[in-house]
Amino acid sequence: QVSDAESTVAVEFTPTIPHCSMATLIGLSIKVKLIRSLPERFKLDVHITPGTHASEHAVNKQLADKERVAAALENSHLLEVVNQCLSARS
């Protein structure tokens, strides 16, 4: 959902399986793509669809924490993995 008037974007995603080990990386990749694509005025909310993941609360907490996201993006290896997730494939 996008609200231009309120400058908010909310993205809800559903992992493929309830124990998907990639859920945090998927959420982080979505968040990074939005950060890079939208003006800074937008407040982003990326979260797992309720009831679709075993660690839904923990993953959502990580994705909502600006400091954790910033720390993750300072990790060069993790940033490389996120960039690979976002790169166009031919």
* Total residue count of the chain as it appears in this document: 90
In terms of Cβ atoms closer than 10 Å to its own Cβ (0-12, 13-18, 19+), residue 84 is exposed
User: Model pTM?
Assistant: 0.90
Question: Which tops the pLDDT comparison, 22 or 89?
Answer: 22
Taking the domain 2-86, which CATH number applies?
A: 3.30.300
Model pLDDT, residue 1: 92
